[in-house]
Amino acid sequence: MLLNSFDDYMFYRLVAIVFHVSIAVAYWTTTIITAGIIVAIVLVCLIKWQ
């Protein structure tokens, strides 16, 4: 999902409002969670592939 800068801002603003955090915290939290999910999917695929 590629968003333009306004869509990014609105997405992180929504996350920040829902979870009562700042936009910076929402950005870093979603970035870390997304990276973790991608790593988990890759590990599961590698384990099942062997």
pLDDT band, very low/low/confident/very high, at 8 (cuts 50, 70, 90): confident
Q: What is the pLDDT of residue 10?
A: 92
> For residue 42, what are the domain limits?
5-49
Rounded to 5°, the CA angle 20-7-3 comes to 120
Domain count, the chain: 1
pLDDT, tens digit (0-9, with 9 covering 90-100), for 29-49: 999 999 999 999 999 999 988
User: pTM of the full predicted structure?
Assistant: 0.74
pLDDT band at 1 (very low <50, low <70, confident <90, very high): very low
- How far, in Å, CA of 30 to CA of 26, rounded? 6
